[in-house]
């Protein structure tokens, strides 16, 4: 048996060979020992025995080396594996017990190698994703954040946070960062609002002011979604955006909407709001104040004789003169063409009279001139006191107006303080006359509905009709609601009128379905009973009674009235929208800072007030204003309707500004019947 043959043997065979050889050696040694003892010492025998020992030792060494060779290979492979060289393969010499182990070892290495590759791929993908998310987070013009209650304790903010306020991300995460950096006066309501929403687990958007590290104020909008952790504690996640620019634009819109562009004075609506505030203040602190109604005596003459441009200068000069007389706390507004109003928040009867006389003095003091000719300046002033003579702004203004008429009748440049005699005169002129006429019209069925199409500006497609009320007069002439709606509102007759309109319009809609020519109708609701639950039930009942399609009914309410009764308005709107009706905010733009509220009113359309539309093709201010409204509405995903589309040029500008819907004499006038066909030609010229 050669050494080579032994090496190729299985390990077990090799062990057997080893044992046999060892036994043979032992046997020889024993035999030698016996021979040594029994026989004479023989050199040959000793040499043979020594040879045997040498051969045995060599064989043992050879077999041991061959036995451990494969184990060493495995050891090297294990070392390779330990330093991550998983491609290393073990190749054994010969066949043996280690084959299985080696196979398993190699398979393990292979599997590990593959798992490692997969892991690396996964890791790279995750890294890519993480880089992408980071880039996304950094790329958004908003702070992505996570916060906890109470208030807004940030637990995460993206890097944009640093750009927004100038503070490092780590500062944002410090306790109380939010509370320390919002306006002090906002802390309580903001905390309460946030708590209210988070407790209910509802998403919410909230605007508030924060201080920049450099001291200036930043307006932000936080868009939040709420989740709860395993301990049911709310987690707020969302975005914080910088809306300072938008707020500045909104403020500018509000400014434009509340001020008269010629004189810069506040306009009628804002004036009424200021009046309302002053009345409330006077009632609260038991004070007395006055409102003055100033009407120029010869403005029409001046305007007609010297032209509009001079007319404007004249008005500007008058407003400056009136302003000079007033104290800083008094409020001066331009109420209409040549009408001005003054609120004196705190004054006695005598003081009000004195101020009015001082105004007349300031106007008379110096004549105006035109081309060397003297132009007279004078006014008639009516005064009404609050809260004694009335605590309702419109009513009070009407009384001051009535007093002004009395002043006019007394001759020019007079002051008159309201008295009950004026009420009689005023009643005679308006209330009795119109109250009777409205009752008469209701009883004698002299109200008629007209319909004016609202049209998609790009296609000319009629989307719906606005329902407009008319009163048929003695000679069957059509009287516009402008002549009686105000009076009806003032004397509590509007409910009957609106009920009549609602009934007739819903009936008409139901009939249109039966006639297989279905129409959608927009009904005007007076803000006076807007939010009134009886009206709500009445509308729902009427829809049911006639079998009208609620989805083809829309209600228009003026933005000012909706905003004035915001919480009631919400409920009312929500309830009608639930059954499928739609809502439009009418006369949008002339209201009082309603832009801030728009987000809180669930409306389907905004109707841009006609006064901003009719001059759109010539007036750049109007254009800016309408664009601002459209941008705002687009941001909120609310389509706009422009009223008073009176010519093709306006239509073109509207299309250019992206206004979706239009209504006006150019497109179609209000008529007692619906238009045949569903398309209006937008390209007719003239």
Dihedral, 51, 57, 60, 63 alpha carbons, nearest 10: -70
Binding flag, residue 485, ligand C2E (CB under 6 A):
yes
382 interacts with, out of ligand C2E, Ca ion, none, CB within 5 to 8 A per kind:
none
665 interacts with, out of ligand C2E, Ca ion, none, CB within 5 to 8 A per kind:
ligand C2E
Q: How far is the CB of 525 from ligand C2E (least distance, A)?
A: 6
Contacts of 602 (CB under 8 A, 6+ apart): 570, 573, 574, 577, 583
Instruction: Tell me the residue nearest to ligand C2E as measured from the CB.
Output: 664
468 interacts with, out of ligand C2E, Ca ion, none, CB within 5 to 8 A per kind:
ligand C2E
Pairing of strands 640-642, 605-608: parallel
Binding flag, residue 611, ligand C2E (CB under 6 A):
no
Q: What number of chain residues touch ligand C2E (CB under 6 A)?
A: 25
Query: In this chain, which stretch among 38-46, 348-356, 413-421, 465-473 interacts with ligand C2E, using CB under 6 A?
Result: 465-473
Going residue by residue from 609 to 648, which x/- string records binding to Ca ion, judged by CB under 5 A? Answer: ----------------------------------x-----
Binding flag, residue 524, ligand C2E (CB under 6 A):
yes
Binding flag, residue 644, ligand C2E (CB under 6 A):
yes
Closest CA to 250 of 591, 595, 560: 595
Cα-based distances in Å from 314 to 142, 265, 298, 321, 377: 50, 15, 11, 11, 9
Contacts of 330 (CB under 8 A, 6+ apart): 342, 343, 344, 345, 355
Binding flag, residue 665, ligand C2E (CB under 6 A):
yes
Going residue by residue from 219 to 258, which x/- string records binding to ligand C2E, judged by CB under 6 A? Answer: ----------------------------------------
Query: In this chain, which stretch among 14-22, 196-204, 353-361, 476-484 interacts with ligand C2E, using CB under 6 A?
Result: 476-484
Distance, CA of 187 to chain centre: 21
Footprint on residues 572-591 left by Ca ion (CB under 5 A): 586-587
Q: Which of 646, 651, 659, 660 binds ligand C2E (CB under 6 A)?
A: 646
Contacts of 510 (CB under 8 A, 6+ apart): 546, 547, 548, 549
Laid out side by side, the sheet with 234-242 consists of 153-157, 142-148, 234-242, 217-228, 204-211
Specify whether the CB–CB gap between 277 and 344 falls below 8 A: no
Please identify, using beta-carbon distances, which residue of 435 and 646 lies nearer to ligand C2E: 646
Footprint on residues 517-536 left by Ca ion (CB under 5 A): 524
Terminal-residue alpha carbon distance, the chain:
123
Burial track 567-583 (b if 16+ CB lie within 10 A, e otherwise)? eebeebbebbbeeebbb
Specify whether the CB–CB gap between 20 and 60 falls below 8 A: no
258 interacts with, out of ligand C2E, Ca ion, none, CB within 5 to 8 A per kind:
none
Please identify, using beta-carbon distances, which residue of 408 and 529 lies nearer to ligand C2E: 529
Q: How far is the CB of 522 from ligand C2E (least distance, A)?
A: 9
167 interacts with, out of ligand C2E, Ca ion, none, CB within 5 to 8 A per kind:
none
Specify whether the CB–CB gap between 291 and 341 falls below 8 A: yes
Please identify, using beta-carbon distances, which residue of 330 and 556 lies nearer to Ca ion: 556
Please identify, using beta-carbon distances, which residue of 48 and 337 lies nearer to ligand C2E: 337
- Rounded Cα distance between 278 and 276, Å, is 5
Q: Which of 258, 260, 561, 643 binds ligand C2E (CB under 6 A)?
A: 643
Binding flag, residue 452, ligand C2E (CB under 6 A):
yes
Q: Give the helix/strand (H/E) hosting 485.
A: helix 485-490
Cα-based distances in Å from 268 to 142, 289, 334, 654: 39, 18, 6, 27
Cα angle: 254, vertex 259, 265; to 5 degrees: 145
Q: Which of 274, 556, 622, 660 binds Ca ion (CB under 5 A)?
A: 556
Which residue bears the tokens 């996570």?
Answer: 146
Binding flag, residue 670, ligand C2E (CB under 6 A):
yes
- Rounded Cα distance between 632 and 624, Å, is 12
- Rounded Cα distance between 90 and 258, Å, is 89
Binding flag, residue 250, Ca ion (CB under 5 A):
no
Closest CA to 345 of 358, 359, 327: 327
Q: How far is the CB of 539 from ligand C2E (least distance, A)?
A: 13
Please identify, using beta-carbon distances, which residue of 469 and 569 lies nearer to ligand C2E: 469
Q: How far is the CB of 667 from ligand C2E (least distance, A)?
A: 8
644 interacts with, out of ligand C2E, Ca ion, none, CB within 5 to 8 A per kind:
ligand C2E
Binding flag, residue 603, ligand C2E (CB under 6 A):
no
Which residue bears the tokens 């995750």?
Answer: 126
Binding flag, residue 482, ligand C2E (CB under 6 A):
yes
Q: Which of 390, 526, 542, 565 binds ligand C2E (CB under 6 A)?
A: 526
Q: How far is the CB of 668 from ligand C2E (least distance, A)?
A: 9
Closest CA to 642 of 466, 448, 502: 466
- Rounded Cα distance between 584 and 465, Å, is 13
Binding flag, residue 297, ligand C2E (CB under 6 A):
no
Q: Dig out the tokens for 313 from the structure.
A: 């200068």
Footprint on residues 558-597 left by ligand C2E (CB under 6 A): 586-587
- Rounded Cα distance between 678 and 680, Å, is 7
Q: Dig out the tokens for 387 from the structure.
A: 């809260």
Going residue by residue from 312 to 341, which x/- string records binding to Ca ion, judged by CB under 5 A? Answer: ------------------------------
The values of phi and psi at residue 390, to 5°, are -175, 150
543 interacts with, out of ligand C2E, Ca ion, none, CB within 5 to 8 A per kind:
none
Q: Which of 250, 498, 559, 622 binds ligand C2E (CB under 6 A)?
A: 498
The contact set with Ca ion (CB under 5 A) reads 524, 556, 586-587, 643
The contact set with ligand C2E (CB under 6 A) reads 452, 467-469, 480-482, 485, 498, 501, 524-526, 556, 586-587, 610, 643-646, 663-665, 670
């Amino acid at each position: 048996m050669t050494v080579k043959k032994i090496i190729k043997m299985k390990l077990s065979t090799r062990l057997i060979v080893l044992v046999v050889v060892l036994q043979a050696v032992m046997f020889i040694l024993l035999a030698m020992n016996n021979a040594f003892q029994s026989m004479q010492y023989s050199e040959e025998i000793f040499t043979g025995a020594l040879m045997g020992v040498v051969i045995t030792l060599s064989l043992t060494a050879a077999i041991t080396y061959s036995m451990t060779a494969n184990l060493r290979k495995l050891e090297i492979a294990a070392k390779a594996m330990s330093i991550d060289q998983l491609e290393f393969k073990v190749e054994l010499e010969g066949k043996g017990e280690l084959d299985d182990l080696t196979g398993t070892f190699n398979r393990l290495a292979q599997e590990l190698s593959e798992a490692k590759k997969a892991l690396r791929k996964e890791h790279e993908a995750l890294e890519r994703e993480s880089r992408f998310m980071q880039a996304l987070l950094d790329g958004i013009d908003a702070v992505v954040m996570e916060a906890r209650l109470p208030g807004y304790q940030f637990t995460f903010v993206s890097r944009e946070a640093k750009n927004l306020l100038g503070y490092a991300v780590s500062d944002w995460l410090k306790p109380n960062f939010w509370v320390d950096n919002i306006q002090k006066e906002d802390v309580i309501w903001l905390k309460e609002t946030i708590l209210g929403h988070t407790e209910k687990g509802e998403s919410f958007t909230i605007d508030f002011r924060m201080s920049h590290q450099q001291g200036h104020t930043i307006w932000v909008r936080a868009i939040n979604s709420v989740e709860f952790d395993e301990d049911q504690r709310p987690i707020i996640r969302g975005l914080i955006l910088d809306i300072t620019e938008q707020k500045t634009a909104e403020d500018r819109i509000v400014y434009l909407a509340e001020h008269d562009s010629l004189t810069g004075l506040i306009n009628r609506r804002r004036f009424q709001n200021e009046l309302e505030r002053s009345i409330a203040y006077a009632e609260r602190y038991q004070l007395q104040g006055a409102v003055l109604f100033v009407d120029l005596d010869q403005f029409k003459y001046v305007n007609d004789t010297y032209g509009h441009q001079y007319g404007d200068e004249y008005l500007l000069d008058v407003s400056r003169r009136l302003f000079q007389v007033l104290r800083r706390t008094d409020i001066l507004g331009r109420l209409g063409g040549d009408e001005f109003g003054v609120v004196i928040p705190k004054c006695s009867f005598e003081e009000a009279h004195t101020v009015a006389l001082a105004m007349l003095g300031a106007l008379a003091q110096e004549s105006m001139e035109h081309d060397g000719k003297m132009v007279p300046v004078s006014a008639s002033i009516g005064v009404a006191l609050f809260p004694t003579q009335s605590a309702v702004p419109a009513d009070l203004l009407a009384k001051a107006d009535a007093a002004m008429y009395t002043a006019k009748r007394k001759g020019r440049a007079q002051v008159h303080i309201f008295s009950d005699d004026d009420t009689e005169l005023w009643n005679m002129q308006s209330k009795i006359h119109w109250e009777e006429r409205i009752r008469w019209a209701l009883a004698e069925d002299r109200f008629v509905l007209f319909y004016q199409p609202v049209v998609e500006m790009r296609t000319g497609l009629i989307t719906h009709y606005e329902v407009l009320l008319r009163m048929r007069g003695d000679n069957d002439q059509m009287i516009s609601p402008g002549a009686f709606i105000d009076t009806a509102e003032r004397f509590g007759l509007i409910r009957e009128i609106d009920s009549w309109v609602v009934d007739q319009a819903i009936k008409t809609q139901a009939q249109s379905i039966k006639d297989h020519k279905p129409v959608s109708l927009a009904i005007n609701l007076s803000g006076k009973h807007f939010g009134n639950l009886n009206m709500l039930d009445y509308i729902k009942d009427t829809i049911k009674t006639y079998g009208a399609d609620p989805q083809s009914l829309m209600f228009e309410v003026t933005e000012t009235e909706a905003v004035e009764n915001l919480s009631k308005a919400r409920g009312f709107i929500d309830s009608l929208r639930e059954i499928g009706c739609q809502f439009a905010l009418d006369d949008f733009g002339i209201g009082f800072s309603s832009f801030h509220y728009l987000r809180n009113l669930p409306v389907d359309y905004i109707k841009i007030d006609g006064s901003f539309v009719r001059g759109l093709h010539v007036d750049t201010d109007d254009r800016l204003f309408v664009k601002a409204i459209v941008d705002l509405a687009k941001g909120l995903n609310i389509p706009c309707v422009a009223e008073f589309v009176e010519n093709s040029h306006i239509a073109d500008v509207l299309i250019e500004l992206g206004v979706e819907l239009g209504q006006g004499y150019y497109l179609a006038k209000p008529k007692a019947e619906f238009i045949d066909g569903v398309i209006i030609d937008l390209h007719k010229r003239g």
